[in-house]
Amino acid sequence: MTTEGSTPQGEATQSVAAPDITMAAEVSLAVAAKASGENFPVALKVLPRTWREHLSALYGFARLTDDIGDEPLPGLDLATTDPEVYLQARLRLLDELQQDVSRLYDGARPELDIVRALGPTVSACGIPRKPFDDLIAANRQDQLVKRYETYDDLVKYCELSANPVGQVVLYIVGKATPERLSLSDNICTALQIVEHSQDVAEDLGNGRIYLPREDLERFGVTEGDLARPSASDDVKRLMDFQVRRARQLLDEGAPLAGMLSGAARLAISGYIAGGRAALKAIEDAGYDVLATTPKPGKAATLTGMVSCYLKGR
Protein backbone atom coordinates (compact mmCIF):
# COMPACT_ATOMS: atom_id res chain seq x y z
CA MET A 1 0.00 0.00 0.00
CA THR A 2 1.31 3.49 -0.82
CA THR A 3 0.50 7.04 0.17
CA GLU A 4 0.62 9.69 -2.54
CA GLY A 5 2.20 13.03 -1.67
CA SER A 6 2.09 16.23 -3.70
CA THR A 7 5.30 17.60 -5.21
CA PRO A 8 6.25 20.91 -6.86
CA GLN A 9 4.81 21.40 -10.32
CA GLY A 10 6.81 19.64 -13.04
CA GLU A 11 8.28 16.97 -10.73
CA ALA A 12 7.24 13.35 -10.60
CA THR A 13 4.56 12.42 -8.07
CA GLN A 14 6.13 11.09 -4.89
CA SER A 15 5.17 7.65 -3.64
CA VAL A 16 6.03 6.70 -0.07
CA ALA A 17 5.29 3.47 1.73
CA ALA A 18 2.52 3.93 4.25
CA PRO A 19 3.79 3.90 7.85
CA ASP A 20 2.96 0.80 9.83
CA ILE A 21 3.89 -0.89 13.07
CA THR A 22 7.13 -2.09 11.48
CA MET A 23 8.35 1.49 11.13
CA ALA A 24 7.41 2.15 14.75
CA ALA A 25 9.37 -0.94 15.72
CA GLU A 26 12.45 0.49 14.01
CA VAL A 27 12.07 3.71 15.98
CA SER A 28 11.61 1.56 19.09
CA LEU A 29 14.92 -0.20 18.48
CA ALA A 30 16.66 3.16 18.05
CA VAL A 31 15.25 4.30 21.39
CA ALA A 32 16.57 1.18 23.10
CA ALA A 33 20.01 1.74 21.60
CA LYS A 34 20.15 5.34 22.85
CA ALA A 35 18.75 4.69 26.32
CA SER A 36 21.86 3.08 27.78
CA GLY A 37 23.96 6.14 26.92
CA GLU A 38 21.60 8.73 28.34
CA ASN A 39 21.21 10.09 31.83
CA PHE A 40 17.71 9.24 33.03
CA PRO A 41 17.66 11.11 36.35
CA VAL A 42 14.76 9.26 37.97
CA ALA A 43 16.42 5.88 37.44
CA LEU A 44 18.96 6.64 40.15
CA LYS A 45 21.21 3.82 41.31
CA VAL A 46 20.02 4.34 44.88
CA LEU A 47 16.41 3.49 44.01
CA PRO A 48 15.13 -0.05 44.51
CA ARG A 49 15.82 -2.30 41.52
CA THR A 50 12.12 -2.91 40.85
CA TRP A 51 11.45 0.83 40.74
CA ARG A 52 14.36 1.35 38.36
CA GLU A 53 12.96 -1.31 36.05
CA HIS A 54 9.50 0.28 36.10
CA LEU A 55 10.95 3.77 35.55
CA SER A 56 13.02 2.48 32.63
CA ALA A 57 9.87 1.03 31.07
CA LEU A 58 8.18 4.43 31.45
CA TYR A 59 11.20 6.16 29.95
CA GLY A 60 11.21 3.80 26.96
CA PHE A 61 7.57 4.54 26.20
CA ALA A 62 7.90 8.30 26.66
CA ARG A 63 11.02 8.42 24.50
CA LEU A 64 9.45 6.31 21.76
CA THR A 65 6.44 8.62 21.69
CA ASP A 66 8.67 11.70 21.47
CA ASP A 67 10.88 10.19 18.77
CA ILE A 68 7.90 9.31 16.59
CA GLY A 69 6.89 12.96 16.88
CA ASP A 70 10.31 14.57 16.40
CA GLU A 71 13.02 12.30 15.01
CA PRO A 72 13.62 11.29 11.35
CA LEU A 73 11.47 8.31 10.41
CA PRO A 74 13.03 5.18 8.88
CA GLY A 75 12.53 5.01 5.13
CA LEU A 76 11.45 8.64 4.79
CA ASP A 77 13.98 11.32 3.80
CA LEU A 78 12.94 14.44 5.67
CA ALA A 79 14.76 16.63 3.13
CA THR A 80 12.95 15.29 0.08
CA THR A 81 9.63 13.91 1.37
CA ASP A 82 6.64 16.20 0.96
CA PRO A 83 5.95 17.80 4.37
CA GLU A 84 2.30 16.75 4.31
CA VAL A 85 3.29 13.14 3.63
CA TYR A 86 5.73 13.29 6.54
CA LEU A 87 3.07 14.80 8.81
CA GLN A 88 0.58 12.09 7.94
CA ALA A 89 3.25 9.44 8.54
CA ARG A 90 3.88 10.74 12.04
CA LEU A 91 0.16 10.93 12.85
CA ARG A 92 -0.39 7.43 11.55
CA LEU A 93 2.46 6.07 13.68
CA LEU A 94 1.05 7.77 16.77
CA ASP A 95 -2.30 6.14 15.97
CA GLU A 96 -0.55 2.77 15.67
CA LEU A 97 1.15 3.34 19.02
CA GLN A 98 -2.17 4.14 20.66
CA GLN A 99 -3.65 0.96 19.21
CA ASP A 100 -0.77 -0.99 20.74
CA VAL A 101 -1.51 0.60 24.14
CA SER A 102 -5.11 -0.53 23.64
CA ARG A 103 -3.88 -4.08 23.11
CA LEU A 104 -1.98 -3.88 26.40
CA TYR A 105 -5.02 -2.74 28.37
CA ASP A 106 -7.40 -5.09 26.54
CA GLY A 107 -5.34 -8.11 27.51
CA ALA A 108 -3.94 -8.73 24.01
CA ARG A 109 -0.24 -8.93 23.16
CA PRO A 110 1.23 -5.58 22.06
CA GLU A 111 3.29 -5.68 18.89
CA LEU A 112 6.04 -3.30 20.06
CA ASP A 113 8.68 -4.46 22.53
CA ILE A 114 8.58 -1.14 24.40
CA VAL A 115 4.82 -1.37 24.91
CA ARG A 116 5.12 -5.02 25.96
CA ALA A 117 7.76 -3.95 28.50
CA LEU A 118 5.14 -1.71 30.10
CA GLY A 119 2.95 -4.72 30.85
CA PRO A 120 4.57 -5.77 34.15
CA THR A 121 4.74 -2.13 35.27
CA VAL A 122 1.08 -1.42 34.51
CA SER A 123 0.01 -4.63 36.23
CA ALA A 124 2.21 -4.33 39.32
CA CYS A 125 1.58 -0.63 39.91
CA GLY A 126 -2.07 -0.36 38.86
CA ILE A 127 -1.37 2.42 36.38
CA PRO A 128 -4.46 3.67 34.49
CA ARG A 129 -4.34 4.02 30.74
CA LYS A 130 -4.98 7.78 30.57
CA PRO A 131 -1.39 8.98 31.20
CA PHE A 132 -0.12 6.97 28.21
CA ASP A 133 -2.95 8.19 25.99
CA ASP A 134 -2.20 11.75 27.10
CA LEU A 135 1.49 11.46 26.16
CA ILE A 136 0.49 10.29 22.70
CA ALA A 137 -2.06 13.12 22.43
CA ALA A 138 0.64 15.66 23.32
CA ASN A 139 2.86 14.48 20.50
CA ARG A 140 -0.08 14.48 18.11
CA GLN A 141 -0.73 18.08 19.16
CA ASP A 142 2.92 18.94 18.49
CA GLN A 143 2.40 17.97 14.86
CA LEU A 144 -0.54 20.31 14.46
CA VAL A 145 -0.05 23.21 16.89
CA LYS A 146 3.07 25.38 16.58
CA ARG A 147 2.04 28.44 18.60
CA TYR A 148 0.15 29.04 21.87
CA GLU A 149 -1.95 32.14 22.31
CA THR A 150 -2.29 32.18 26.09
CA TYR A 151 -0.67 30.75 29.19
CA ASP A 152 -3.81 28.72 29.84
CA ASP A 153 -3.42 27.12 26.41
CA LEU A 154 0.16 26.19 27.26
CA VAL A 155 -0.86 24.73 30.63
CA LYS A 156 -3.40 22.51 28.88
CA TYR A 157 -0.62 21.25 26.62
CA CYS A 158 1.56 20.54 29.67
CA GLU A 159 -1.31 18.51 31.12
CA LEU A 160 -0.77 16.14 28.21
CA SER A 161 2.99 16.39 27.65
CA ALA A 162 4.47 16.55 31.16
CA ASN A 163 2.00 15.82 33.94
CA PRO A 164 1.40 12.17 32.92
CA VAL A 165 5.05 11.33 33.61
CA GLY A 166 4.84 12.51 37.20
CA GLN A 167 1.53 10.71 37.64
CA VAL A 168 3.01 7.41 36.50
CA VAL A 169 6.05 7.92 38.76
CA LEU A 170 3.72 8.26 41.78
CA TYR A 171 1.93 5.05 40.80
CA ILE A 172 5.30 3.30 40.48
CA VAL A 173 6.39 4.34 43.98
CA GLY A 174 2.96 3.45 45.39
CA LYS A 175 2.07 6.98 46.51
CA ALA A 176 -0.62 8.08 44.04
CA THR A 177 -3.37 9.96 45.89
CA PRO A 178 -5.46 12.87 44.54
CA GLU A 179 -3.57 15.43 46.65
CA ARG A 180 -0.15 14.11 45.67
CA LEU A 181 -1.10 13.84 42.01
CA SER A 182 -2.21 17.49 42.05
CA LEU A 183 1.11 18.62 43.55
CA SER A 184 2.97 16.46 41.05
CA ASP A 185 1.09 18.16 38.21
CA ASN A 186 2.36 21.55 39.45
CA ILE A 187 5.93 20.25 39.48
CA CYS A 188 5.71 18.70 36.03
CA THR A 189 4.05 21.72 34.42
CA ALA A 190 6.78 23.88 35.94
CA LEU A 191 9.49 21.55 34.61
CA GLN A 192 7.97 21.72 31.13
CA ILE A 193 7.99 25.53 31.26
CA VAL A 194 11.62 25.38 32.42
CA GLU A 195 12.51 23.21 29.43
CA HIS A 196 10.70 25.54 27.05
CA SER A 197 12.58 28.47 28.57
CA GLN A 198 15.94 26.75 28.05
CA ASP A 199 15.19 25.62 24.49
CA VAL A 200 13.70 28.73 22.89
CA ALA A 201 16.22 28.76 20.03
CA GLU A 202 16.03 25.01 19.43
CA ASP A 203 12.23 25.01 19.45
CA LEU A 204 12.13 27.91 16.99
CA GLY A 205 14.50 25.99 14.73
CA ASN A 206 11.91 23.21 14.73
CA GLY A 207 9.16 25.67 13.85
CA ARG A 208 7.63 25.85 17.33
CA ILE A 209 7.25 28.58 19.94
CA TYR A 210 6.10 27.56 23.41
CA LEU A 211 6.20 31.08 24.83
CA PRO A 212 2.57 32.28 24.89
CA ARG A 213 1.84 34.98 22.33
CA GLU A 214 0.19 37.10 25.03
CA ASP A 215 3.52 37.14 26.88
CA LEU A 216 5.48 38.09 23.77
CA GLU A 217 3.13 41.00 23.18
CA ARG A 218 3.27 42.07 26.82
CA PHE A 219 7.06 42.46 26.63
CA GLY A 220 7.19 43.76 23.08
CA VAL A 221 8.94 40.68 21.70
CA THR A 222 8.47 39.52 18.11
CA GLU A 223 9.21 36.14 16.58
CA GLY A 224 12.05 37.86 14.74
CA ASP A 225 13.58 38.81 18.10
CA LEU A 226 13.63 35.12 19.07
CA ALA A 227 15.55 34.30 15.88
CA ARG A 228 18.47 36.58 16.73
CA PRO A 229 21.83 35.14 17.88
CA SER A 230 21.50 36.78 21.29
CA ALA A 231 18.66 38.07 23.42
CA SER A 232 17.59 41.70 23.42
CA ASP A 233 16.67 43.44 26.65
CA ASP A 234 12.99 42.81 25.89
CA VAL A 235 13.63 39.07 25.45
CA LYS A 236 15.60 38.99 28.69
CA ARG A 237 12.71 40.61 30.54
CA LEU A 238 10.36 38.08 28.99
CA MET A 239 12.56 35.19 30.14
CA ASP A 240 12.84 36.67 33.64
CA PHE A 241 9.04 36.57 33.75
CA GLN A 242 8.99 32.93 32.58
CA VAL A 243 11.58 31.97 35.20
CA ARG A 244 9.62 33.60 38.02
CA ARG A 245 6.40 31.95 36.85
CA ALA A 246 8.01 28.51 36.68
CA ARG A 247 9.69 28.91 40.08
CA GLN A 248 6.39 29.84 41.74
CA LEU A 249 4.68 26.80 40.24
CA LEU A 250 7.58 24.56 41.24
CA ASP A 251 7.47 25.87 44.81
CA GLU A 252 3.72 25.25 44.95
CA GLY A 253 4.30 21.59 44.10
CA ALA A 254 7.44 21.11 46.20
CA PRO A 255 5.61 20.10 49.44
CA LEU A 256 5.04 16.76 47.67
CA ALA A 257 8.57 15.80 48.75
CA GLY A 258 7.61 16.24 52.40
CA MET A 259 4.69 13.83 51.99
CA LEU A 260 7.05 11.03 50.96
CA SER A 261 9.90 9.19 52.61
CA GLY A 262 12.96 7.19 51.70
CA ALA A 263 13.72 6.55 48.04
CA ALA A 264 10.42 8.06 46.84
CA ARG A 265 11.26 11.32 48.60
CA LEU A 266 14.72 11.25 47.05
CA ALA A 267 13.37 10.73 43.52
CA ILE A 268 10.89 13.60 43.75
CA SER A 269 13.52 15.82 45.37
CA GLY A 270 15.69 15.12 42.33
CA TYR A 271 13.00 16.37 39.98
CA ILE A 272 12.45 19.54 41.99
CA ALA A 273 16.16 20.21 42.38
CA GLY A 274 16.77 19.74 38.67
CA GLY A 275 14.13 22.33 37.86
CA ARG A 276 15.47 24.83 40.36
CA ALA A 277 19.03 24.36 39.16
CA ALA A 278 17.95 24.92 35.55
CA LEU A 279 16.18 28.14 36.51
CA LYS A 280 19.32 29.31 38.31
CA ALA A 281 21.35 28.50 35.17
CA ILE A 282 19.05 30.73 33.11
CA GLU A 283 19.50 33.51 35.64
CA ASP A 284 23.29 33.04 35.64
CA ALA A 285 23.26 33.33 31.83
CA GLY A 286 21.66 36.76 32.18
CA TYR A 287 18.41 35.36 30.74
CA ASP A 288 20.05 35.12 27.31
CA VAL A 289 18.62 31.79 26.18
CA LEU A 290 19.38 32.54 22.52
CA ALA A 291 23.17 32.74 22.67
CA THR A 292 23.37 29.47 24.60
CA THR A 293 21.20 26.79 26.18
CA PRO A 294 21.63 27.28 29.93
CA LYS A 295 22.30 23.98 31.68
CA PRO A 296 22.96 23.42 35.39
CA GLY A 297 25.97 21.55 36.66
CA LYS A 298 25.58 18.21 38.41
CA ALA A 299 26.91 19.63 41.67
CA ALA A 300 24.20 22.30 41.79
CA THR A 301 21.49 19.72 41.15
CA LEU A 302 22.88 17.34 43.78
CA THR A 303 23.14 20.09 46.38
CA GLY A 304 19.58 21.15 45.65
CA MET A 305 18.34 17.57 45.88
CA VAL A 306 19.88 17.12 49.33
CA SER A 307 18.36 20.41 50.50
CA CYS A 308 14.92 19.53 49.14
CA TYR A 309 15.11 16.06 50.70
CA LEU A 310 15.99 17.44 54.14
CA LYS A 311 13.49 20.32 54.10
CA GLY A 312 10.70 18.33 52.47
CA ARG A 313 10.00 21.05 49.90
Domains of the chain plus CATH, in order, are 20-144 (no CATH), 146-313 (1.10.600.10)
Cα 220 from Cα 226, distance rounded (Å)? 12
What's the pLDDT at 259?
Answer: 98
Lowest average pLDDT, out of 26-35, 149-158, 230-239, 287-296, goes to 26-35
Q: Which residues pair with residue 2 across a beta bridge?
A: 17
Reported as a single tens digit per residue, the pLDDT across 59-112 is 999 999 999 988 888 888 877 889 899 899 999 999 999 999 999 999 999 999
Distances (CA, A) of 16 to 1, 53, 155, 294: 9, 38, 36, 40
Question: Dihedral sign, CA of 255, 260, 261, 262?
Answer: negative
pLDDT of residue 3: 36
Residue 24: the pLDDT is: 57
Whether residue 142 has pLDDT greater than 60: yes
DSSP state of 259: G
Confidence at residue 73, expressed as pLDDT on a 0 to 100 scale: 85
* 285, 292 contact by CB (below 8 A): yes
Write the secondary structure of 119-155 as one string of H (helix), E (strand) and C (coil). HHHHHHHCCCCHHHHHHHHHHHHHHHCCCCCCHHHHH
Integer Cα distance of 209 and 192 in angstroms: 13
User: 75 in the Ramachandran plot: left (φ > 0), alpha (ψ -120 to 50) or beta?
Assistant: left
Collapse the DSSP code of 289 into the 3-class scheme (helix H, G, I; strand E, B; otherwise coil) and give the result: coil
At how many degrees (to 10) do helices 163-172 and 151-161 cross?
40
* 254: DSSP letter: G
Lowest mean per-residue pLDDT among 58-72, 101-115, 116-130, 132-146: 58-72
Q: What is the pLDDT of residues 240-254, one digit of tens each?
A: 999 999 999 999 999
pLDDT of residue 70: 86
Report yes or no: 276 and 304 within 8 Å, Cβ to Cβ. Answer: yes
Q: Which H helix or E strand runs over 110?
A: none
Considering only CA atoms, give the Rg of the chain. 20
pLDDT value at residue 21: 54
Distance from C-alpha of 286 to C-alpha of 263, rounded to nearest angstrom: 35
Q: pLDDT tens digit string along 276-291?
A: 999 999 999 999 999 9
The more confident residue out of 180 and 52 is 180
CB atoms within 10 A of CB 139: 23
What whole-number distance in Å separates Cα of residue 57 and Cα of residue 65? 13
